[in-house]
Amino acid sequence: MKAQNMVLVLVVVIMLASLGGTYLLFSQQGALSTQKIDSLKVVIDDLSVSLKKVDSGLKDIEARSSGYADSIKSLEEKISAGDADRKDIAAKVTDLMKAVGDIKGVAKSAAEVKQAAMEIQEPAPEPAAEPAPVTTQSETVDLGQIPVQK
């Protein structure tokens, strides 16, 4: 019986040692996982701080780019207004050139009429003691024969 008790005590001691080892093993794993969780929390906090910095940087860039977009839109409006003004001025210049051409044509016609009128006019007789010579019908100029340009 003593041997049976010894075996029984030995089995109980082995079981207790096994239980103690298992407890120690799991307790260390728990400590390791707690350390891992704490280190992950630190990494996550660092990443969230970095993410906030990146987010604020993106907001700054977005604000600047919207300002640039407004400036670009304003410049495009000014350019289109300038193009419209340029087209309007070009149309007015074309109209003025046509008017100048018309005026030149009228002035040329007026100069030709004036020249023809000067050719038709007879020089004024100089005061002379002699009586003026009498002209006949064949010496007069028919005004219907003067060409007039239109």
Structural domain contains residue 77: yes
Q: Total domain count for the chain? A: 1
Q: Which residue has the tokens 């030709």?
A: 112
Identify whether 97 is part of a domain: yes
> Is 57 within a domain?
yes
H or E element: which one contains 67?
A: helix 2-120
Q: How far apart are CA 45 and CA 48, in angstroms?
A: 5
User: What tokens does 89 get?
Assistant: 């001025």
Residue 5 lies in a domain: no
Greatest mean pLDDT among 41-45, 91-95, 104-108, 129-133 lies in: 91-95
Q: What count of Cα atoms within 13 Å lies in the side-chain half-sphere of residue 44?
A: 6
Q: Is residue 131 part of a domain?
A: no
Averaged over 67-77, what is the pLDDT?
Answer: 87
Residue 83 lies in a domain: yes
Q: What is the pTM of this model?
A: 0.35
Is 140 contained in some domain? no
Domain with 57 in it: 12-119
Q: Residue 72 falls within a domain, yes or no?
A: yes
Q: What is the pLDDT of residue 149?
A: 61
Say whether pLDDT at 118 is over 80: no
